[in-house]
Amino acid sequence: MRKYQDMYEMLEKDMRARQFFEELPAYVRNHISTRAGNVNSYESLRSYAENLLSGDI
């Protein structure tokens, strides 16, 4: 699993993560952006998004 400094670096360098992020609903993208420092891999992005979409957070 590739780790980045933060979400912004990941979205800049990982096209798969960027595409996934851009396809998320706006409220999910906004919520994830508030925790950008904790989202440093594609796997953490997917996990966080899935939790938000299922209402766990």
Q: What is the pLDDT of residues 14-55, one digit of tens each?
A: 999 999 999 999 999 999 999 999 999 999 999 999 999 998
1-13: average pLDDT: 95
User: What pLDDT score does 1 carry?
Assistant: 84
User: What pLDDT score does 55 carry?
Assistant: 82
- Smallest CA-to-CA distance from 47 within 35, 12, 9 is with 35
How many domains does the structure of the chain reveal? 1
Within a domain: residue 30? yes
**Chain centre to alpha carbon of residue 42:** 7
First-residue to last-residue Cα distance in the chain: 24
User: What pLDDT score does 57 carry?
Assistant: 54
Phi, psi (rounded to 5 degrees) for 46: -60, -45
Q: What is the domain extent for residue 35? A: 7-54
DSSP 8-state symbol, 41 = S
Q: Are 14 and 42 in contact (CB under 8 A)?
A: yes
Within a domain: residue 24? yes
User: What pLDDT score does 27 carry?
Assistant: 95
